[in-house]
């Protein structure tokens, strides 16, 4: 089990964050209104945005500490990021896209990168697409390829920014199922930004609500959903839970 914790402050323009998050192997769904700063939180964890103070620890590794003047570069954090829109390179074929993350790490030969990339594509049942370019793929296929790239890196943490929002209903269901299986098998901590309660339910994720720059609630989805009739429950949570049980 890999425990992680992040506590930090960040300010830019009208956005002010004072975040306190923690988790383990169970995925954590970060929810909140548009403009709340959810994607910024992911970028801070990834290391491409720097907070003004705080700390971030993943397992035994201290990745950021303002007190100890530690700020590990993004490429050395062993974290995988799946942004909205997949982030595939249009000039590379599928196999090279999947292997790109490994190519930036030391210790992998060209043949090892190809072998591991093909293995990841086979696990997601898209190895037949290996010679195609991203423009030749459907939205669902592109997302599977992007996910294969994430999994190939064998990261210590996965960050997902609305991983199924651009997909049709059938593709969403399939990608959620793949994500759930892979996260359960690999036991890798994951944080995902989502506006869809089905992502939370089907990934068995915990929930953290980002509201007015702070985490106003973090807990188990089942326990939170059982409070849907509570008048004191945050209005955003009531809307987010909707009619799902």
Homologous superfamily, domain 4-78+156-241: P-loop containing nucleotide triphosphate hydrolases (3.40.50.300)
List pLDDT tens digits, range 163-205. 888 788 888 888 888 889 888 888 889 999 999 999 999 998 9
Of 197, 202, 198, nearest to 181 by C-alpha is: 202
CA distances (Å), 152 to each of 115, 125, 174, in order? Answer: 10, 14, 19
Write down the domain spans for the chain: 4-78+156-241, 90-154
> So what's the pLDDT on residue 108?
82
Count H helices, E strands: the chain? 8, 11
> So what's the pLDDT on residue 104?
72
Which residues, other chains included, contact 23 with Cβ-Cβ below 8 Å and sequence gap of 6+?
3, 4, 5, 189, 191, 206
Look at strands 61-65 and 70-71 and give their pairing: antiparallel
Q: What is the dihedral of CA 115, 116, 117, 121, to 10 degrees?
A: 100
Which residues, other chains included, contact 71 with Cβ-Cβ below 8 Å and sequence gap of 6+?
47, 50, 63, 64
- The Cβ of residue 149 has, within 10 Å, a number of other Cβ atoms equal to 25
> So what's the pLDDT on residue 102?
81
| Token output for 65 | 């500490």
Rounded mean pLDDT for each run of 10 residues along the chain, 245 residues in total:
91 96 93 95 97 96 98 92 84 94 78 92 91 92 89 90 85 87 88 93 93 94 84 86 65
């Amino acid at each position: 089990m890999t425990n992680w914790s992040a506590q930090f402050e960040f300010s830019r323009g009208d956005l002010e964050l004072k975040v306190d998050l923690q988790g383990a192997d169970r995925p954590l769904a970060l929810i909140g209104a548009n403009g709340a700063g959810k994607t910024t939180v992911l970028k801070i964890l990834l290391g491409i945005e720097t907070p003004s103070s705080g700390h971030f620890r993943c397992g035994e590794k201290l990745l950021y500490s303002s007190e100890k003047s530690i700020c590990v570069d993004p490429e050395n954090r062993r974290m995988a990021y799946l942004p909205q829109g997949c982030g595939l390179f249009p000039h590379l074929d599928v196999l090279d896209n999947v292997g790109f993350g490994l190519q930036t790490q030391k210790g992998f030969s060209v043949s090892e990168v190809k072998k591991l990339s093909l293995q990841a594509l086979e696990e997601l049942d898209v190895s037949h697409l290996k010679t195609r370019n991203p423009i030749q793929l459907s939205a669902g296929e592109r997302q599977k390829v992007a996910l294969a790239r994430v999994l190939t890196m064998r990261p210590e943490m996965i960050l997902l920014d609305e991983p199924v929002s651009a997909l049709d209903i059938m593709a969403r269901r399939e990608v959620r199922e793949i994500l759930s299986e892979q996260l359960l098998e690999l036991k890798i901590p994951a944080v995902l930004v989502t506006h869809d309660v089905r992502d939370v339910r089907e990934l068995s994720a915990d929930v953290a609500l980002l509201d007015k720059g702070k985490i106003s609630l973090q807990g188990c989805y089942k326990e939170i959903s059982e409070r849907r009739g509570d008048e004191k429950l945050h209005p955003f949570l009531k809307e987010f839970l909707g009619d799902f049980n």
